[in-house]
Amino acid sequence: MTTDGVLMRLNKQDFRELMNEPLLQWVTYEQAREIVTKGGKWLDVRLPSEHQNLSIEDSLNIPLYFIRLKISALDKNTPYVVYCDTGRRSSAAAFILVERGFDAYVLKGGLTSGNVALRVRRKSAHAYIVCVALSPESAPAR
């Protein structure tokens, strides 16, 4: 600093709004599918057990707690759509990726958001089941 100034401390909420959020790129499921269609990859940052029970087809699984250790396994030239159940873990993972020079996007609302169509993998059934979650306004009338 070249002139007198004041050093201030940000609380957690202010940090998220001013520093963290501007670095993150939030996308809808439709936007995420378009990114993946153009060469991006799905990155699931949930636990392996969560990934085995319910995941988006062809997604990579690197749990949030391993992201710093496994980051070298990721390609910096590939965009990643990061997801979890709610968006909390995926936003933390995307922040780490962006900090390290990756092109990362966060799936809004995670897997629990309204319009997420995904492939469900159930280990015991050894079968793929397609599940589509519709928002109330797009669901067929009964």
3 state SS of 129? strand
Q: What is the mean pLDDT of the chain?
A: 81
What pTM did the predictor assign?
Answer: 0.71
CB 45 within 8 A of CB 62: yes
The percentage of the chain sitting over the pLDDT mark of 90, rounded to a whole number, equals 49
CB 46 within 8 A of CB 84: yes
Q: How confident is the model at residue 34 (pLDDT cuts 50, 70, 90)?
A: very high
Burial (CB count within 10 angstroms: exposed 0-12, middle 13-18, buried 19+), residue 110 = buried
Beta strands 127-132; 117-122: pairing state: antiparallel
Q: What are the structural domains, with CATH classification, of the chain?
A: 23-138 (3.40.250.10)
pLDDT tens-digit readout, 113-135? 655 644 444 444 444 444 444 45
Query: Among residues 105, 117, 110, which one has the least CA distance to residue 32?
Result: 105
DSSP 19: I
Neighbours of 14 (CB within 10 A): 11
Neighbours of 78 (CB within 10 A): 12
- The token duo for 67 is 């992201």
- The token duo for 71 is 């980051």
